[in-house]
Every structure is written in structure tokens, then in C-alpha cells.
A and B are shown apart, each in its own frame.
Chain A
Amino acid sequence: MKYILPKHELNALLERWSAEYAVLAPQKAGAYSEFLPFTAQSELCLEEPHNTRYPPKALFFPQSEAILKYKRNLGQLESIEAVPQKRVIFGIRPCDAKAVTLLDTVFAEGDNQDPFWLARRAETLLIGLGCNEPGATCFCTSTESGPFHTDGLDALLTDLGGEYLIELLSERAAGLFSGLESASSAQQENAQAVQTAAEQALPKAFELDGLKDKLDRVFDQDVWAQLSESCLGCGICTFLCPTCFCFDLVDEAQRDTRVRNWDTCMFRVYSLEASAHNPRPTRKERTRQRLMHKYSYWWEHAGKLGCTGCGRCVRYCPVGLDIRAMLRKASAYESEALHAN
């Protein structure tokens, strides 16, 4: 089902949703945007060419979350229940929505049933906004995603200038759009043209086909030292990544609480063992891990690519490292250096 919504009616629609749901939408916070409770349409940041700076995975998997309370000395445990609100996340970009489905393979498949993740997922609707003009650091078309990709979304909006075309993608979101006019065939064609133009504006940054095998073959090669030479070893690329999910469990003993914090393979202490041995002793091994995890190991553990091309790691790397170029260089190394030997 496809609807049409004049932009000046968006405010009323989000207010209507707010009666029943907590509505989160990208809004200005200093120089960047982040998902905040909806206040007014005038506060929304829907025109930016890309994402919020901080990834919306945090709305399901917060960076620091108390998961257990205990009483020292008494041997008592007190569980913390996830009691989520009914939520609509409005204006999420397709790359970030797809990332949520990738994280489902970590937190909600097989034996891995994370109660916090599941409770929030069950109560949340994702209403996406496609990207008419993808940013220069975006590369979703290279990563089995795209500026109007629908994975994970309950509905997708296409900006047609004065109005949005809304494509309903799940039954559970149907009520949100009741009373809206259906899109005419001319409007649907118009949306199709916008979507095609956006896809074409973003040529592939690297060839994904065969990339996993190439990376696997250069695992023990020097190319990783070259690629990681200027890496600072900070956590920006992984903390801002919408698909990175590593965490660390810490007992905050002074307040009798067990906390789950995001962790990152880019930190030296991440893989440091109690014996003082570190299986990833330098930035070379840690950079390799970050790229290999997304572009090789995800295929093995989930049958999917672990990157959606959102571009945050490129945009905010303090030394300008660009994962697209790193993959191209690793791939070229495999083709040239390795085969020459």
C-alpha cells in the first residue's frame, strides 16, 4: 500500500502518533542530529544528506545498561526487567534500519535471545526515510543495501519535494497511516524516478563479489600494517558503527550493579588476557579484525555482510582512514602482490 502525505501535515501525523507511542525522530543537538523525543516538525533534521552522528542501535542496545542488581554479602540477585514503551522511530535511514536486522542475528536468533533487545524490538516500529542525495561518505550501494532499501522497515518515506510518498511494509504499522490518501500512479512513478536517481548517484565504491575470499587470503600479509599505520586505536569507528555489537560486562560494585557497556576490538585492552598475553598485540591485528569481521566473519556466522555502508566510520575517523579505500587496497594487494609471488 502506498500513501501520500503533504509535508505540512507531517506535524499533525507525528502528534497523532505521540498520543499512543513515544515518537523518536532526528533532531538538532548542537552541530549534529540525534534521535530525540519528537517535539515539533520545525525541530526535525530530515534534510541532511546522511545519518545521525550517534547510531540508532543505541535505542535498542544502549551503550551502558544496567542488567542486574545484587546485594553483596547477602548473596541476593535482583533481576532488571526491560519494560519498554511502545515506540515509533521516525526518519531512520535505510542503512541503519538494515543494521538493526543484522543485530537481530546476534541478539535474537537461535540460542541468543537477549531479553532487553527482544523487548525493545517487539515494541518498536521503524519508519524510514530514504536518501535522495546520499552523502559523499555513504557507500550503501556497495554493501547489499541502498538509499531506499527496505530491510527492517515498517514503512519507507520518499521525499517528493512538497510531499512524502509512504510505502507501507508491515501490517503492524498499518494503523499509523489510516486516513491518508493513496498515492496516484503519477506520484508512484515520481517516487520511483527519485529512488533510481539516488541509486545511480552512488556508484559502487568497491567490488563486494569475491571480496571475502580475497580478504581471507591476505589474512597474514603485510598489507594490514600499511592500512593501519596511522590508526590511532580509538573507538570512534566501532562505537559509531550501527552494526558493531561487542560489549563488556562490568560489576559496578560501589552501586551493586552489573552493567553492560559497549566494547571495541580497536582497544588494546579488548583482547588483553589476564596472563598479559595479547593475541592482537598491535593496531595491525586490531584493524584487520574490524575489517575481517564485517567483510568475512559475518558471512560465516550469519550468512550476511556485516556492514551497511552508512559511512560514519569514514566521516568521523580522526586520521581520515576510509574503509572503502582500505578494502580496495587489500583487494588490490591480493590481486597483485599475492599472485605475483
Chain B
Amino acid sequence: MTEMEAKIRTEAARLLSEGLVDVVVAFRKEDAPLRPQPAFFTNVEDLENLVYNGLCANNLANYLTRFPQETRIGMLVRGCENRSVNALVVEKQHSRQNLYLIGIPCTGIIDWRKVVALTGEDILTYEDSAHTLTVRARHQTFALPRQELLHSSCLRCVHPNPLSADIVLGEMLPEGDPALIRERVESFEALTRSERTAYFKQEAERCIRCYACREACPMCYCEECFVDHNAPRWTESGTTPAGTHAWHIIRAFHQTGRCTSCGACERACPMDIQMTYLTDKLGKDMWDSYQFAAGMDDQTQPPFASFTLDDKKHFQVGGKQS
């Protein structure tokens, strides 16, 4: 058991035994190698199965909308998860007073695919430490530099620390460099229109319409997704280019001012499709146009979800020009 695991278990045990929460949402020991599972803990005895390490890959805020508003949820939150929770609270998906956020400054999520590319699949045990992931495989033991295994979204992370947690376990980390996420978007913007189209098609057309990106995303909680609506039908539902293009474009647009760049969509994708270049582009536009970043607090409405009576209406005939 790592030191952090012990701290989380202690705090979770306190919350459950003192009756402060009904459930603790965290991670459970894996069944398949390198794949800890999101889990709901409701009794103290079960906490011996709680684990925490860099391979805990899901954004747990995704599970917030599974519970009724009155359920008191204790939830493990890293930087991105905390911002997703904030964005969900802004959208009134749970009442903040019924949440107890156990914050963890995050050193980045390890991409299991990068690990097995180096070690092979036959993994017996592993240990995640500050700088190294040690993997004992059947034929060999590997000591892998952690930084080279991080998921690409985590390499560009700006806010690794929980922003509004009720308790923070561990030391706060330095903020990330916002230039990294910006540079990636700018390099995409710098492509010609036909190069951008080619890149978009190459990614979107591999899509198998499994909607793992949607289901892994905390902000995709609609009762009925536009692709599931059939009167009228908005898009083709198969894997034709018309269908996959529409899905990837509209999915991204629905995230405008809401996406926290956690990368859960890409980590879930079974076909290794890049999607964050679209949502990060929208994130950059929101910042440049409105100085807004999603989930920085649990009060501020995203620009596209709010209005005031003196909004500019320069797009409207007869609207105010400034």
C-alpha cells in the first residue's frame, strides 16, 4: 500500500464511519493488469480494496450524475476532476453541500497503452513511485521513467491541484505551463484548411461509434444524446464519413466552455482517436474571447450558457454594435 493510498483510506473511513457521506467514489484494485476500476465504497470494510496510483485513469466526476442530488458523495478529485465537479455544480447536477471532495495534487495519469508497448501484456505486478513505474513482467522487470508514460493530456496539464477540495492529501504541486496546451492548438490552427480537413478525417473516420468518449466524459450527461434522437435524426448512425464527421464535430461543440481538458475521452477510445485538439481549440477560443476557463470555480456560468440584458447582439440586424 502506498502512502497516498493509506491517507485516502483513512479519510474515506472517517467519512463513512462518521456518517458524513453515503458513498465514497474512488478506485478499486484491478482485475485486468494495469486497470484499476472506478468504484463506489459504502462500507469501511470494503476500503481495503481501495487503490490509488497513476494508472487510475478515469475522471471520477463522471459518476456524479449517477446519484440523486440528495446523496452525500465523497469523491476523490485530482485537478481536472475537481474542475469537472465545479462545472457540474455550475450546471446544477449536484448540490455542492452534498459533496465532500478529497483532493489529490496529481502527478499525471499513466497511459497503460504506453506501458504495454514497452513491457508487453504479461504483467504480474507494478509499483508507481514519484519518478518511476516499476513493472514486473513474466520475463523481465522494467523501470520506466514516469514522465514518458503520461497520457498526452496530462503532459499539457495546467492545473494539477484540486481547486475547491474539502481536504487536500499530499503536497500541492507547481502549476503547469499554459503555453503547452496553447502551442498544440496553434500548431493545428497553423495548418492549411486542407491539412486540417485531412487530419480531422484521418481521426474521425476510424470511429466505431461506440460512444466511449461520450460515456467517459463527465460533461456528457444528457438524458438523450443528439445521436440517439430519431425524430428527427440529426446524423447518420453508422460508420460512414457523414456519420463519424458529424459525431466528432458536434460532440466537441457541445463541450464549448465546459471541457476541462482532462483527456478521459481519448483514454477511453478503443481506436486511439485524437479528440482533444478540437476541444482544446474551443477552450482557447473561450479564453481569448471571454477570458473564461471551465471549472475554475463552482459559480460562474460558461459564456454560452449565460446571458445579460445588455449582451452585444452584433450578429443580429438592429442589434447593439458594441
Q: Which A residues contact B (CB, under 8 angstroms)?
A: 30-32, 49-50, 53-54, 63-64, 133, 135-137, 229-230, 232-236, 239-240, 248, 250, 252, 259, 261, 264, 267-269, 314-322, 324-325
Contact = CB atoms under 8 A, between A and B. Distances in A.
Given A54-B208, A234-B215, A135 B237 contact: no
Contacts of B58: 318-319
Given A234-B211, A239-B208, A319 B121 contact: no
Question: Which 4 A-B residue pairs are closest in the complex by CB-CB distance?
Answer: A320-B35, A64-B238, A235-B210, A322-B31
A234 B268 contact: yes
Given A30-B272, A49-B120, A230 B236 contact: no
14 contacts: A50-B121, A54-B271, A63-B208, A229-B39, A230-B28, A235-B209, A250-B236, A268-B228, A314-B32, A315-B32, A317-B35, A318-B215, A318-B216, A320-B36
A321 B37 contact: yes
B272 A320 contact: no
Given A31-B113, A63-B238, A232-B215, A322 B32 contact: yes
Nearest to B55: A320
B238 A259 contact: yes
B168 to A, nearest CB: 25
Given A318-B216, A319-B58, A49 B122 contact: yes
Contacts of A267: 211, 228
Contacts of B38: 230, 319
Interface string B117-153: 1001111000000000000000000000000000000
A283 to B, nearest CB: 9
A115 B310 CA distance: 63
Chain B residues touching A, majority SS: loop
A261 B120 CA distance: 34
Contacts of B237: 248, 250, 261
B277 interface: no
A109 B21 CA distance: 55
Contact of B121 (A32, A49, A264): A49
A79 B144 CA distance: 57
Contact of B268 (A32, A252, A261, A318): A318
Contacts of B57: 318
A319 B28 CA distance: 10
Contact of A230 (B39, B113, B214): B39
Interface of B: 28, 30-33, 35-40, 57-58, 62-63, 113, 117, 120-123, 208-212, 214-216, 228, 236-240, 243, 267-268, 270-272
B37 A53 contact: no
B37 A319 contact: yes
Contacts of A240: 270
B210 A239 contact: yes
Contacts of B272: 30-32
Contact of B270 (A53, A230, A325): A53
Q: Which of B33, B215, B270 has the most A CB atoms < 10 Å from its CB?
A: B270
Contact of B236 (A53, A229, A252, A320): A252
Contacts of B122: 49, 133, 135-136
A324 B216 contact: no
A269 B31 contact: no
Contacts of B117: 31
Given A137-B121, A269-B228, A234 B214 contact: yes
B123 to A, nearest CB: 6
Contacts of A320: 30-32, 35-37
Contacts of B214: 234
Contacts of B210: 234-236, 239, 264
Nearest to B138: A136
A252 B242 CA distance: 11
A103 to B, nearest CB: 18
A234 B240 contact: no
Contacts of A264: 210
Nearest to A320: B35
A250 B32 contact: no
A59 to B, nearest CB: 14
A267 B215 CA distance: 10
A191 B39 CA distance: 45
